[in-house]
Amino acid sequence: MSQSLKIHIDGQLLDQADAKISVFDHGLLYGDGVFEGIRFYNDRVFRLDEHIDRLYDSAKAIHLTIPISKSEMEAAVLETIRANDLHDGYIRLVITRGVGGLGLSPYRCEKASVIVIASTIALYDPEVYEKGLKLVTCSTRRPSHDTLSPAVKSLNYLSNVMAKIEAIAGDADEGVMLNAAGYVAECTGDNIFVVKNGIIYTPPVHAGALNGITRKVVIELARARGYELVETEMSRYELYTADELFLTGTAAEVVPVRVYDERVIGNGDPGPITRQLLAGFVEITQSTGTPIYEAAVVS
């Protein structure tokens, strides 16, 4: 954005140029912290409570105490959006371990820091939602449950970054990450759905998929429309032979795939089920959510 944003850091709204953290913050030194990405549409924050619940769960999983309550976190999110006079956009909530010494021990950090950024985002060009993405398989694997649970949205996203580098090198829009057993987990930042013979499939959380908020919404929409939806382990074969393939994520929303590892998906155009779920997702995001401004009314 060209305008200078107001950034919330530890209870203060600061000009973008003045929004800084210490070089001794363990979020910077060791990637020690958690985050959430949240969308807001038409003066409403979409699934705010669910995102905040997941943020606090991630923090608890890494033994990180967030110094404010959930209600205070919600107020900080809304205040930051209002301070920037935004009506549609993206929020990044970041919780760092805080300032500490040079050394891994988190117990040298006296207090975690809370950062709220509200801005705009467009992950893909609008035409991608009509034509679809190109995907490739990445050699970088999704971290397994015996290292750090994929359910934790930690600040250490290096494996995703390395996979994204591979995808870009392969002239693709996104990269598919496999788990240690070779099954499909998710993309570098999105969940994966396959449509075959009218049935919708998606990798389960235990396969390494993030339990995405948008993923949950799409599952709800699919089942409400009478589709059978199955969470099951899938190899690349199931993706190669899919009738339809699409991704979901907070930033990506619902986006179709046209090519995967040089295999054309279906006839190369977004399929009818993908289009139906995308339309349903747009409808629900425009009509529900936590009001940002006093004049906002939830349908």
Q: Determine the distance from the C-alpha atom of residue 195 to the mean position of all C-alpha atoms in its chain, rounded to a whole number.
A: 22
Residue positions annotated with a catalytic role: 153
Provide the pairing of β-strand 229-231 with 199-202: parallel
Q: Calculate Rg over the CA atoms of the chain.
A: 20
* Phi/psi of residue 133, nearest 5 degrees: -95, 160
DSSP string, 230-277: EE----HHHHHT-SEEEEEETTTEEEEEEEETTEEPTTSS--HHHHHH
Give the integer Cα–Cα distance in Å for 197 and 106. Answer: 50
Give the integer Cα–Cα distance in Å for 288 and 299. Answer: 6
Q: Determine the distance from the C-alpha atom of residue 41 to the mean position of all C-alpha atoms in its chain, rounded to a whole number.
A: 16
CB 62 within 8 A of CB 104: no
